[in-house]
Amino acid sequence: MHQSDEKHRKIEREKARALRKSRWWQDKLAQGICHFCEDKFSKEDLSMDHLVPVSRGGKSVKGNVVVACKDCNNRKTYKTPVEMILDSLKTGDDES
Protein backbone atom coordinates (compact mmCIF):
# COMPACT_ATOMS: atom_id res chain seq x y z
CA MET A 1 0.00 0.00 0.00
CA HIS A 2 2.84 2.33 0.77
CA GLN A 3 4.09 1.99 -2.71
CA SER A 4 0.81 3.14 -4.21
CA ASP A 5 0.64 6.03 -1.75
CA GLU A 6 4.00 7.16 -2.92
CA LYS A 7 2.93 6.81 -6.51
CA HIS A 8 -0.19 8.84 -5.81
CA ARG A 9 1.83 11.64 -4.24
CA LYS A 10 4.25 11.67 -7.11
CA ILE A 11 1.51 11.84 -9.70
CA GLU A 12 -0.40 14.55 -7.85
CA ARG A 13 2.74 16.61 -7.34
CA GLU A 14 3.39 16.43 -11.06
CA LYS A 15 -0.17 17.48 -11.75
CA ALA A 16 0.16 20.39 -9.34
CA ARG A 17 3.23 21.52 -11.19
CA ALA A 18 1.35 21.44 -14.46
CA LEU A 19 -1.60 23.22 -12.89
CA ARG A 20 0.69 26.03 -11.70
CA LYS A 21 1.56 26.73 -15.30
CA SER A 22 -2.04 26.79 -16.40
CA ARG A 23 -3.84 29.92 -17.37
CA TRP A 24 -6.47 29.14 -14.74
CA TRP A 25 -3.85 29.30 -12.00
CA GLN A 26 -2.16 32.37 -13.41
CA ASP A 27 -5.52 34.11 -13.37
CA LYS A 28 -5.99 33.12 -9.74
CA LEU A 29 -2.60 34.52 -8.82
CA ALA A 30 -3.37 37.69 -10.72
CA GLN A 31 -6.55 38.10 -8.70
CA GLY A 32 -4.39 37.58 -5.62
CA ILE A 33 -7.18 36.69 -3.21
CA CYS A 34 -6.30 34.21 -0.49
CA HIS A 35 -8.91 31.47 -0.30
CA PHE A 36 -8.88 31.46 3.49
CA CYS A 37 -8.53 35.03 4.77
CA GLU A 38 -9.79 36.63 1.53
CA ASP A 39 -7.19 39.35 1.68
CA LYS A 40 -5.36 40.49 -1.40
CA PHE A 41 -1.69 39.60 -1.81
CA SER A 42 0.99 39.90 -4.41
CA LYS A 43 1.87 36.84 -6.42
CA GLU A 44 5.06 36.28 -4.47
CA ASP A 45 3.19 35.87 -1.20
CA LEU A 46 0.79 33.26 -2.50
CA SER A 47 1.15 29.56 -2.90
CA MET A 48 -0.87 26.63 -4.10
CA ASP A 49 -2.69 24.76 -1.39
CA HIS A 50 -4.62 21.51 -1.46
CA LEU A 51 -7.89 21.49 0.49
CA VAL A 52 -7.53 17.75 0.93
CA PRO A 53 -3.77 17.22 1.25
CA VAL A 54 -2.16 14.96 -1.29
CA SER A 55 -0.85 12.92 1.62
CA ARG A 56 -4.45 12.16 2.55
CA GLY A 57 -5.47 11.16 -0.93
CA GLY A 58 -6.30 14.62 -2.26
CA LYS A 59 -5.90 15.30 -5.94
CA SER A 60 -4.36 18.18 -7.83
CA VAL A 61 -7.55 19.26 -9.52
CA LYS A 62 -9.20 22.65 -9.71
CA GLY A 63 -11.80 21.75 -7.09
CA ASN A 64 -9.16 20.77 -4.55
CA VAL A 65 -6.56 23.42 -5.19
CA VAL A 66 -6.75 26.97 -3.84
CA VAL A 67 -4.65 30.09 -3.57
CA ALA A 68 -3.37 30.65 -0.05
CA CYS A 69 -1.20 33.35 1.49
CA LYS A 70 1.84 32.29 3.49
CA ASP A 71 0.15 32.92 6.83
CA CYS A 72 -2.87 30.83 6.02
CA ASN A 73 -0.74 28.15 4.48
CA ASN A 74 1.21 27.87 7.73
CA ARG A 75 -1.83 28.15 9.94
CA LYS A 76 -3.60 25.41 8.03
CA THR A 77 -1.25 22.76 9.31
CA TYR A 78 -2.96 23.04 12.68
CA LYS A 79 -6.40 22.35 11.31
CA THR A 80 -8.04 19.59 9.38
CA PRO A 81 -9.43 20.43 5.95
CA VAL A 82 -12.97 20.08 7.28
CA GLU A 83 -12.30 22.71 9.93
CA MET A 84 -10.89 25.00 7.29
CA ILE A 85 -13.97 24.55 5.13
CA LEU A 86 -16.23 25.28 8.09
CA ASP A 87 -14.21 28.40 8.82
CA SER A 88 -14.51 29.57 5.26
CA LEU A 89 -18.27 29.01 5.38
CA LYS A 90 -18.51 31.10 8.54
CA THR A 91 -17.25 34.16 6.71
CA GLY A 92 -20.50 34.03 4.77
CA ASP A 93 -19.04 35.01 1.46
CA ASP A 94 -20.18 33.07 -1.50
CA GLU A 95 -17.29 32.58 -3.86
CA SER A 96 -19.26 31.27 -6.79
Contacts with Zn ion, residue ranges (CB under 5 A): 34, 36-37, 69, 72
The answer to whether residues 51 and 74 touch, using CB atoms and an 8 Å cutoff, is: no
Tell me whether residue 32 or residue 53 sits nearer to Zn ion (CB atom).
32
Beta strands in the chain (DSSP E): 46-50, 65-69
Closer residue to Zn ion (CB): 69 or 84: 69
Q: How far is the CB of 34 from Zn ion (least distance, A)?
A: 3
Nearer to Zn ion by Cβ, of 8 and 53: the residue is 53
CA–CA gap between residue 77 and residue 93 (Å, rounded): 23
